[in-house]
Amino acid sequence: MIRFATTLLAFAVFAFAEDVNLPAPELEVKMESGQIVKLSSLKGSPVLVEFFSTTCPHCQQSAASIEKMLRNYGPKGLKIVAVVTDEVQRLGFAEFRQKYGATYPMGVVQRDDSYRFFNLSVMKPFYVPSYAFIDKNGIMKTRFVGGIQLPPGSTELIELTKNVEAIMKPAGAPAAKASAKK
């Protein structure tokens, strides 16, 4: 029974990974500094948006992968915004940064805005970390849930790299295929 429940949960979460290819919904992020940044203001750059929680073990582990994306693709124009949906967690950003080495920008959004952004009913669970990959034209290309959701033989770093490389390509360029060996 436990195996069935685990399989069912993995299938339900895996079904959340999808190609979107629609304009990214607007998202207003209250940054650590208190400044409000609209996602649309980043149009012209590829953007990785991570929805996370400072207390989530998968999110804590993903900090290293997000840092690699920042180091490898930031100089090439990638923008990263990590957001929480709880204002109280914003107070824990400094500790999260120190403990997990996170240097990328962080902010907070309203809980309902996160559901709207992912086109989810508020009656459904919202898993973190969740990622959205937006190209320089403001088109959300792909979104997926990290942690337990990954395809067999893959890692979060492989999936992040594959999706970041896809949004870094000029429009019309073929998408790169992920290698399961990294």
Provide the residue count of the chain.
Answer: 182
Residue 15, burial from CB neighbour count under 10 angstroms (0-12, 13-18, 19+): exposed
Structure confidence at residue 9 (pLDDT): 38
Tell me whether residue 80 is in a domain: yes
The crossing angle, in degrees rounded to 10, of helices 57-73 and 93-100 is: 70
CA distance 125 to 66: 23
Q: In the chain, how many domains are there?
A: 1
Tell me whether residue 176 is in a domain: no
CA distance 63 to 56: 11
Structure confidence at residue 44 (pLDDT): 97
Tell me whether residue 182 is in a domain: no
Domain hosting residue 76, numbered range: 2-168
Residue-by-residue pLDDT tens, the chain, 182 positions: 444 333 333 333 334 457 889 999 999 999 999 999 999 999 999 999 999 999 999 999 999 999 999 999 999 999 999 999 998 998 899 999 999 999 999 999 999 999 999 888 888 888 899 999 999 999 999 998 876 656 667 788 999 999 999 999 876 555 444 443 33
CA distance 83 to 31: 9
Tell me whether residue 48 is in a domain: yes
CB distance 107 to 42 below 8 Å:
no
Three-state DSSP class for 18?
Answer: strand
CA distance 93 to 121: 28
CATH code: domain of residue 41? 3.40.30.10
Q: Which of 139, 181, 136, 138 is nearest to 162 (CA)?
A: 181
Tell me whether residue 179 is in a domain: no
Tell me whether residue 180 is in a domain: no
